[in-house]
Amino acid sequence: MAATQVSTTPFDGQKPGTSGLRKKVKTFQQPHYLENFVQAIFDTQRGLAGGTLVLGGDGRFYNREAIQTILRMAAANGVARALVGQGGILSTPAASCIIRKYQAQGGIILSASHNPGGPDEDFGIKFNIDAGGPAPESVTNAIFERTASIDRYLISDAGAVDLDAVGEQALDNMQVQVLDPVADYAALMEELFDFNAIHQLFNSGGFRMCFDAMHAVTGPYAVEILENRLGAEPGTVMNGKPLEDFGGGHPDPNLLHAHDLVALTQGAAGLDFGAASDGDGDRNMILGQGFFVTPSDSLAVLAANAHLAPGYKQGIAGVARSMPTSQAADRVAEELGVECFETPTGWKFFGNLLDAGRITLCGEESFGTGSAHVREKDGLWAVLFWLNLLAVKRHSVAEIVREHWRRFGRNFYTRHDYEGVDAAAAGELMDHLRILLPDLPGKRLGALTVEYADDFSYTDPIDGSTAAHQGIRVGFAGGSRIVFRLSGTGTQGATLRVYIERYEPDPALHDQPVQEALAPLIVTARELAQIEARTGRREPDVIT
Ligand code: VG1
Ligand code: CO
């Protein structure tokens, strides 16, 4: 068998967004489309030749075909060893864990995360660097530039690898190792959390929980860790079988898309704990009985209680949150006397801070929480962290969060998404806001006075790299904020995200319904951005 060189021509728009290149499956199925992007990775990431590549995906439609193609290209490009998840499966955090553990030179993760899957839905590809995290912008820009001039790719004509047989195989001169996708990850979780305490909680008789894998990648991980190792009742994991189309659902763990799970936690007979993860296993949603923990609060609660989990008993070095994430974690960092960083949206911006030991925990409002144990956000990790807290404290989820609010105050928080908006109109809306910015400080909007207004830009404190135009921030006296940005993960039209936050120190006012507590700010946001006039939308499609 031999490597063949195939002539090709560039495709427009192979620019990775917030988290890799995401397009419709049909786009990826065009001849040479996947190959061009993958070759651009090999052409720019020279360390892969002679090195180790980790490869796996969330099991969505087209995963297996893409993996076979990438393996044949890896062999032709001189990769010495490929580590592949059995069945082509690796959750995003497990891929990060494996890159680090086996000191690979990088990894390719096939996923469109929380976007639906199937022949007419979405597919995605992402490159992770040797530290285990998403490639920084310098790398994704180089890959994108290469896609614009690519004229050939290399591919072996060898036959298919048996993805289901754990063990070693050869593909030309490349060694292919098919790995149990769960084992290394599960071992890492056992190092970080008190499995005995969680086991006892499960055996205490009074604790009932459910984990919704949403027919996505975390099914096998959750069954092994929660049911087999921790002794949760069989059936604790619902929708645990990964399906190519996620059962037709939207594998996004939020109140809208995980409604079956949410229903199980409602009412007096509701479960004590509910949790869910997304398509590729890096997001998490945490629920108590009749209680939803916002991801921003979850980060703050974990930061305040980290010392209760064995992996973090020394305390945390610092914490980081993406800019639109609520400022709840900032208050905890201040009290702990550790650094707090505000980064642009997307996990790639946490990598340098984690590598440098400046932060231990980080998170995003978009159901993402993680730590220095890997370089991706990690859904099951967050679930285990919460279970560890519950096992130690023996309080309910709601009690833990309410106690946190009493101590630190509550950051009321909501995100309103307007999906499938006309892209030109969305761009103009953002331009309109940019024009308003210089005149906003000092102005009264509704009952509040604007303190600052800017288009967020970030300078990485470790390597000095910069990222501009990361979202419009309008901050008010007293700590309230409105943030506007356009999504970088969609595949159709534009998605406008409006993030709204208000700080409330008074415990007597902590129980208001969130949308009510934020109602005046929501009106201000809509008026300021002229959302209805510019998009034709009166109400958002998704509220989280
Ligand atoms: C969204 C979230 C962002 C997250 C990204 C990837 O990006 O807002 O916080 O990092 O998805 O998550 P955007 O650009 O659409 O707002 V995942 O679970 O898709 O890897
Ligand atoms: Co994801």
- Whole-complex ipTM: 0.98
Mean pLDDT of 332-341: 98
Give the CA distances from residue 231 to residues 197, 199, 235, 341, 526, in Å, rounded to whole numbers and listed in that order.
11, 6, 11, 38, 48
Among protein residues, the one whose CA lies closest to atom 8 of ligand 1: 366
Tell me 264's DSSP state.
H
Residue spans per domain, the chain? 3-181, 185-408, 410-543
The Cα 537–Cα 375 span in angstroms is 37
Spacing, Cα 368 to ligand 2 middle (Å) = 8
CA dihedral 190, 196, 198, 203 (to 10 degrees): 140
Nearest atom, ligand 1, residue 17 CA: 14
Per residue in 224-277, pLDDT (tens digit) is 999 999 999 999 999 999 999 999 989 999 998 999 999 999 998 999 999 999
Burial class (CB in 10 A: 0-12, 13-18, 19+), 229: middle
Spacing, Cα 45 to ligand 2 middle (Å) = 24
pLDDT of residue 46: 94
Per residue in 21-44, pLDDT (tens digit) is 999 999 999 999 999 999 999 999
Among protein residues, the one whose CA lies closest to atom 6 of ligand 1: 19
pLDDT of residue 3: 82
DSSP string, 323-382: TTS-THHHHHHHHHT-EEEEE-SSGGGGHHHHHTTS-SEEEETTTEEEETTSSS--HHHH
Is the pLDDT reported for residue 439 higher than 80?
yes
Sign for the CA dihedral angle at 513, 518, 522, 523 comes to positive
Among protein residues, the one whose CA lies closest to atom 11 of ligand 1: 489
Q: Which of 91, 113, 326, 480 is catalytic?
A: 113
Helix, strand, or coil here: 480? coil
Confidence of residue 129 (pLDDT cuts 50, 70, 90): very high
> Which residues have CB under 8 Å from 533's CB, separation 6+?
none
Q: At 181, which amino acid appears?
A: P
Q: At 97, which amino acid appears?
A: C
Tokens of 329: 């974690």
Confidence of residue 64 (pLDDT cuts 50, 70, 90): very high
Query: Known catalytic residue: 113?
Result: yes
Is the pLDDT reported for residue 489 higher than 90?
no
Q: Does domain 185-408 have CATH number 3.40.120.10?
A: yes
Helix, strand, or coil here: 459? strand
> Is it true that 3-181 and 185-408 share their CATH fold?
yes
Tell me 134's DSSP state.
B
The closest alpha carbon to 46, from 133, 109, 106, 132, belongs to: 106
Is the pLDDT reported for residue 203 higher than 70?
yes
Q: What is the CATH number of domain 410-543?
A: 3.30.310.50
> What are the phi and psi torsion angles at 90 (to 5°)?
-150, 125
Confidence of residue 1 (pLDDT cuts 50, 70, 90): low
CA 111 to chain centre: 11
Dump strand ranges (E) for 90-141.
Answer: 106-110, 122-129
Per residue in 450-479, pLDDT (tens digit) is 999 999 999 999 999 999 999 999 999 889
Confidence of residue 2 (pLDDT cuts 50, 70, 90): confident
Per residue in 371-404, pLDDT (tens digit) is 999 999 999 999 999 999 999 999 999 999 999 9
Ligand located closest to 324 CA: 1
- Determine contact, residues 433/472, Cβ cutoff 8 Å: yes
Mutate which of 123, 127, 246, 345 to test ligand 1's pocket (most atoms within 8 Å of Cβ)? Answer: 345
Spacing, Cα 115 to ligand 2 middle (Å) = 9
Confidence of residue 205 (pLDDT cuts 50, 70, 90): confident
* Beta-carbon neighbours within 5 Å of ion ligand 2: 113, 278, 280, 282-283
Interhelix angle 33-44/63-76, rounded to 10 degrees, is: 40
Q: What is the CATH number of domain 3-181?
A: 3.40.120.10
Which amino acids bring their CB within 6 angstroms of ligand 1? Answer: 18-19, 113-114, 278, 282-283, 322, 345-347, 364, 366, 368, 487-489, 497
Spacing, Cα 111 to ligand 2 middle (Å) = 8
